[in-house]
Amino acid sequence: MQEIQIGLLGAGVVGGGTLQALAQKGDRIAAALGCRLRVKRVLVRDPEKTREVPVDPALLTTCPEDILDDPAVQIVVELIGGEEPARSYIARALEQGKHVVTANKEVIAKHGFALLALAQKRRVNLFYEASVGGGIPIIAVLRRDLVANEISQIQAIINGTTNFILTEMEQGRDYAEALRHAQRLGYAEPDPRNDVEGIDAAYKLAILATLAFRTNVRPEDIPRTGITGLHAKDFRYAREMGYVIKLLATARRLDGEIEAAVHPALLPLDHHLASVKGVFNAVLIDGDQIDKLMLYGRGAGARPTSSAVLADICAVAQSILRGTPEPIDLRTDGARLRDFGEVESRFYLRMQVADQPGVLAQIARVLGDARISIASVIQKETDESARSAEIVLMTHLAKERRMAEALEQIRTLPVVRQVSSFIRVAK
Hey, which residues are catalytic here?
204
d(CA 296, CA 205): 16
Q: Across the strands, what pairs with 280? A: 298
Backbone angles phi, psi at 379, to 5 degrees: -85, 125
